[in-house]
Structure 1
């Protein structure tokens, strides 16, 4: 049997796009014959797409779809920002958002659903796109919102085309008021959320562990002033209220008018349309947030694969 060297594995990986371990296995099966190994990978369906998944996909696009009382948002990642300008990739992400709007936001259900206009599933279509476009891609997350009465509105920041961009927001408004006016308000709220990235809609929704951490820090800072505890308590409460204004949506100053709180702005529109408005949900997706991009040593990766 021919020796399976690191350079041979590397060459096969570059020619096939398959994963490191698959390349090693293919060469083993083919007794070190490079062409036979490529054929083996093709037979197994590994020569293009399926094992690009080892590469970090932290770029990509967010897509939103809204229609009346329903809305969907999805993030599909790729390896480079360049792919976000690829029309085929843009269509893929937009179509997946349509699937989410139809079947809901359970990722397994979305992947198993039929891709629009095709006999393939979403998952199979994504795999084919990886092979065609040549980068690892992943359906990272999705969310669907619904209201019984009212609208689900959306906004895309840094849009590359209609409904697609780097930051996407959905806002759900429950109301029996005029749908067009609600949609206009919803878009304004979504724009505000894009700019401020609030942590919750209301104070009650805010993670209490976050509040307690902030309270502890503020208390420690206030005690350094040497003031009595009763004064410190008042100082802390004042600063906690300022904290709420920073991170709670309804307490923030509405960026659209720069004057009213978001809560007040919603109330003003409610009076205008003659119907109460309740902001029931918000979703904000930014491409790649929370994904750690790792720098890899390719030579070490090859050596490790060959020696394992």
Structure 2
């Protein structure tokens, strides 16, 4: 039997909002597998769908830059959030984003690219590590571009031009007015930052994710005693609701929830003066998908002082 710890119960409760005892029962039932426990709770009707945004654990900054019809976003991590306020670190992240705009979004290629007056990006990172005294790492990068149109951008939690905690790029293909496209692109980028869609549309969702959602919906419907033909209708209806929650084009537009993002784009064609295609987006949230051990800061301070925390 798996050892179910209080930390595991807390993590599951944070993910699902289910009661403590229900979380413990779910973990016991599935031998401590957190994701399986989420599904178990959902099948019992005790939890909502978990939005896998990932626990934000890494520190540092997201940097982005846009030039013409191309944009790039990078994530540079550090050990503490204090470094994000350091002007040298901010300049480094901004400089790496500028390099990536020309070098592309392959991390190793960016590290090997020339930086500043001499040396490479890797050299610049090592120099910053030596000066600031913290481990740093270029974790990832992604570029997006359009042949005709605009790349909209938005940085949330900004600490400087193109620097913050969340960075978003949105690609709009159109032959219309560039200024109107850029304004629309920024609005949609703000929406992406807030709503965190999993994909552009239903076709872009991982088939495994869809299969998992279908399975949960089916088991939940069967548990309520519905016949097979009704179960299938419930599943299809549930999937449509799921797509509205996780796909960009079907989400309610945060600037006007009475319409979807797709409808907002269609309506904007009048101002732009030409058809618009929402071609793609990139969203980087600082530290998403990276976990670090939680620590008791008071206990650490007490330990350093040779005391025992109360």
Map 1:1-308 → 2, pairs under 5 A:
58-116=58-116, 118-294=117-293
Displacement of 1:146: 1.3
Displacement of 1:295: 6.3
- TM-score, length-normalised on structure 1? 0.76
Relative to structure 1, the CA distance from residue 81 to residue 241 in structure 2 (aligned partners, 3 Å threshold; closer, same or farther) is same
Deviations 1:189-243 (A, max 9, x none): 1100101110100111111111111011001111122122212211111111000
- TM-score, length-normalised on structure 2? 0.75
Runs in 1 of length 4+ with deviation above 6 angstroms? none
CA distance, structure 2, for counterparts of residue 280 and residue 261 of structure 1: 16
* Backbone CA RMSD of aligned residues: 1.5
Task: Give the unaligned 5+ runs of structure 2.
Answer: 1-56, 301-310
CA distance, structure 2, for counterparts of residue 295 and residue 229 of structure 1: 46
Relative to structure 1, the CA distance from residue 229 to residue 176 in structure 2 (aligned partners, 3 Å threshold; closer, same or farther) is same
CA distance, structure 2, for counterparts of residue 272 and residue 224 of structure 1: 51
CA distance, structure 1, for counterparts of residue 248 and residue 60 of structure 2: 27
Deviations 1:250-290 (A, max 9, x none): 01000011110001001111233231111112111111111
Counterpart secondary structure, 2:150: strand
Please say which structure displays the higher CA radius of gyration: 1
Counterpart secondary structure, 1:172: strand
The size of the alignment, in residue pairs, is 240
* Other-structure match for 2:40: none
Counterpart secondary structure, 1:160: coil
